[in-house]
């Protein structure tokens, strides 16, 4: 009974904390994006050299979108003439980097973990887009059209004035929150079960710092397990508290969020198999490098 009570308390506390973080950060981001026009965005992404790729990764890190919102936006930017490399940097960073994910890391794992996670994934996103464009990856884009709004969300027109925009920003954040709520609850529920009932020695023996293969295996295991980082992070936290190395936790989250099967399936609808395979390889490599780097720092 005592274990059950602690498990329920863990579930309620983490759920409340993540709810406040998600709604607060998402509202601020939605408000910020209302002040950035599409013309200005295309101008930023069109800058020469790596600067366009870095700005593409920055824009991806500011968009807490689900995959079915990211994919139409990707096609829209390509059709509008945005550079292919910058758009690909956006594609990689969008599921991995956004203020909600970073705030979860900083609050639940620590600022150093958030900084390492941001640095590795951001740099990987920017460099991947740059080298993919140089390698002629644009020829692997299919000639298709994808309609936005497949998540069921509706985006309101941008009003004038700060207060009306703030209301719309909160409604947008609430709509996004409802779309991820079930995944968040699944993640917190599984994490609470691990926290309460999985023996610490079992986790430490399999995925602890003493196992050099824990990080690449964790990056692969994350692929079929998670649909969103909001699901993966609570599970990763619980595993780290049971003895899993923090590097393996980061690899698990990057692999799960970046290579989620639903998102890869949607990318396959607009990109050819070779390009999708390249995306999977780069995200897995980023997950492994990030895990080893953080273990070395820690």
Give how far Cα 201 sits from Cα of 68, 251, 254, Å.
Answer: 40, 21, 25
Residue 43 is part of which domain span?
A: 2-297
Rounded Cα gap, residues 153 and 123, in angstroms: 31
Rounded Cα gap, residues 272 and 145, in angstroms: 14
Tens digit of pLDDT for each residue in 159-209?
778 888 888 888 888 887 787 687 678 767 876 776 676 666 655 666 666
Tens digit of pLDDT for each residue in 83-97?
888 888 888 888 778
Tens digit of pLDDT for each residue in 95-123?
778 777 787 778 767 788 788 888 888 98
- Stronger pLDDT, 47 or 281, i.e. the higher one: 281
Rounded Cα gap, residues 11 and 6, in angstroms: 9
Query: Which DSSP symbol is given to 228?
Result: S
Our count of domains for the chain comes to 1
């Amino acid at each position: 009974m005592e274990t059950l009570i602690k498990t329920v308390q863990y579930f309620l506390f983490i759920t409340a904390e993540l709810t406040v973080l998600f709604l607060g950060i998402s509202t601020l981001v939605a408000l910020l994006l209302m002040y950035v026009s599409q013309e200005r965005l295309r101008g930023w992404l069109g800058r020469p050299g790596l600067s366009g790729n870095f700005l593409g990764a920055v824009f991806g890190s500011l968009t807490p979108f689900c995959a079915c919102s990211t994919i139409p936006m990707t096609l829209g930017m390509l059709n509008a003439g945005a550079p292919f490399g910058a758009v690909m940097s956006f594609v990689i960073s969008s599921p991995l980097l956004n203020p909600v994910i970073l705030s979860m890391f900083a609050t639940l794992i620590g600022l150093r973990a958030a900084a390492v996670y941001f640095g590795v994934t951001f740099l990987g996103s920017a460099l991947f887009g740059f080298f993919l464009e140089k390698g002629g990856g644009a020829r692997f884009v299919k000639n298709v059209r994808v309609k936005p709004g497949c998540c069921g969300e509706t985006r309101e027109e941008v009003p004038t004035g700060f207060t009306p925009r703030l209301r719309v920003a909160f409604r947008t954040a609430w709509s996004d929150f409802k779309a991820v709520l079930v995944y968040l609850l699944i993640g917190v529920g599984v994490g609470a079960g691990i926290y309460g009932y999985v023996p610490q020695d079992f986790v430490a023996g399999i995925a602890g710092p003493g196992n050099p293969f824990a990080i690449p295996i964790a990056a692969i295991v994350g692929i079929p397990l998670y649909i969103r980082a909001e699901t993966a992070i609570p599970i990763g936290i619980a595993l780290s508290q049971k003895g899993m190395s923090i590097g393996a936790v980061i690899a698990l989250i990057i692999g799960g969020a970046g290579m989620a099967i639903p998102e890869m399936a949607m990318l396959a609808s607009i990109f050819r198999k070779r390009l999708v395979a390249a995306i999977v390889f780069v995200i897995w490599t980023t997950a492994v490098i990030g895990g080893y780097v953080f273990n070395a720092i820690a």
